[in-house]
């Protein structure tokens, strides 16, 4: 009996320690950050400028602005959870070829950006960059694009404004569902400090929504993207692009992805008046 009690105490202690571990160190799993020195020189072939802004809490925020020839609009691109703009900057080319400038911010602690991680602050940073774009571009020429983790910033931002469109690649309805995918044996709802409730924000989105997701995605379950899609308001144009053999990082390789992106970025948005030539 004494041995059984000790075994139970050990198991309870191990379980509690595991919960504490994920509570304390969850940022290391959610935000896989690669820092760059302020002096780091990017080597992209496309023309670009480095942009800086300072948040109210003193955080130094950095981004890259890529310039297209005779742009018809701009794409605000929120990247995934791993790396920095050194990796993600090359993604700008696909939008530049379709006649759009591209602005990519690095989140706090990523690349040259500095600052303490906090979900409220991260959303405020996204709003700050959007306001910067509004100084040059009208909303009807801004497209918000979110990739994986970046969809957690893209959806609430689109809900707060009325951009030309919202494009989501490998999105989740909320991060609670993603946590359940990895931590189902733990009280993940209590542990998680970054819920990223895109599901609640999607109910307020007023612009066209385009969702791309692979059925074989091992990182963000396909089911959570379907649920997010179901929450798009009934009077809002929405399209769901499902890739039966698609994973998490390969969707852009598909011809259907490229054709859809070409149509979304070069043709009039649903409900948009066509200007006479």
- 14 and 61 assigned to the same domain: no
Asked whether residue 38 is assigned to any structural domain, the reply reads yes
Strands (DSSP E) contained in 71-153 are 73-78, 82-83, 100-105, 142-147
- 217 and 116 assigned to the same domain: yes
- 112 and 141 assigned to the same domain: yes
- 183 and 108 assigned to the same domain: yes
Number of H helices, E strands in the chain: 10, 10
- 20 and 39 assigned to the same domain: no
pLDDT in tens, 48-93: 999 999 999 999 999 999 999 999 999 999 999 999 999 999 999 9
- 2 and 139 assigned to the same domain: no
| Cβ-contact 63, 105 below 8 angstroms | yes
Q: At 2, is the pLDDT very low, low, confident or very high (cuts 50, 70, 90)?
A: confident
Asked whether residue 277 is assigned to any structural domain, the reply reads no
Query: d(Cα 238, Cα 208) in Å, to the nearest integer?
Result: 6
Asked whether residue 271 is assigned to any structural domain, the reply reads no
- 84 and 58 assigned to the same domain: yes
pLDDT at 8 over 70: no
Q: Which is nearest to 38 in space by CA: 8, 11, 60? A: 60
pTM for the predicted model, two decimal places: 0.93
Q: At 16, is the pLDDT very low, low, confident or very high (cuts 50, 70, 90)?
A: confident
Query: d(Cα 264, Cα 166) in Å, to the nearest integer?
Result: 10
pLDDT in tens, 263-273: 999 998 887 65
**Total structural domains within the chain:** 2
SS3 228: helix
- Domain range for 178 is 33-266
Asked whether residue 150 is assigned to any structural domain, the reply reads yes
The domain that holds 99 is classified in CATH as: 3.40.50.1820
- 3 and 140 assigned to the same domain: no
Q: Which is nearest to 161 in space by CA: 189, 192, 129, 115? A: 129
- 162 and 198 assigned to the same domain: yes
- 12 and 100 assigned to the same domain: no
Q: At 199, is the pLDDT very low, low, confident or very high (cuts 50, 70, 90)?
A: very high
- 185 and 61 assigned to the same domain: yes
Q: Find residue 168's DSSP bridge partners.
A: 146, 211
């Amino acid at each position: 009996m004494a041995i059984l009690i000790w075994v139970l105490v050990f198991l309870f202690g191990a379980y509690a320690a595991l919960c504490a571990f994920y509570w304390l160190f969850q940022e290391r799993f959610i935000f896989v950050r690669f820092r760059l020195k302020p002096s780091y020189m990017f080597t992209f072939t496309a023309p670009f400028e480095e942009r800086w802004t300072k948040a109210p809490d003193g955080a130094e925020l950095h981004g890259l602005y890529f310039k297209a020839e005779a742009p018809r609009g701009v794409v605000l691109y929120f990247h995934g959870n791993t790396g920095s703009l050194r990796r993600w900057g090359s993604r700008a080319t696909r939008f530049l070829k379709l006649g759009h400038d591209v602005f990519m911010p690095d989140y706090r602690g990523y690349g040259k950006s500095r600052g303490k991680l906090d979900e409220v602050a991260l959303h405020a940073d996204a709003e700050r960059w959007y306001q910067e774009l509004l100084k040059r571009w009208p909303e009807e020429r801004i497209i918000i694009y979110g990739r994986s983790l970046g969809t957690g910033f893209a959806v609430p931002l689109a809900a707060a404004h009325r951009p030309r469109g919202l494009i989501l690649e490998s999105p989740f309805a909320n991060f609670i569902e993603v946590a359940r995918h990895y931590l189902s044996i733990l009280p993940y709802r209590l542990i998680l400090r970054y819920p990223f409730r895109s599901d609640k924000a999607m109910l307020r989105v007023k612009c066209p929504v385009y969702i791309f997701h692979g059925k074989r995605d091992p990182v963000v379950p396909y089911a959570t993207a379907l649920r997010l899609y179901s929450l798009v308001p009934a009077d809002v144009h929405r399209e769901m692009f499902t890739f039966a053999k698609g994973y998490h990082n390969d969707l852009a390789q598909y011809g259907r992805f490229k054709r859809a992106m070409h149509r979304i970025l070069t043709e009039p948005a649903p409900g948009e008046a066509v200007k006479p030539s």
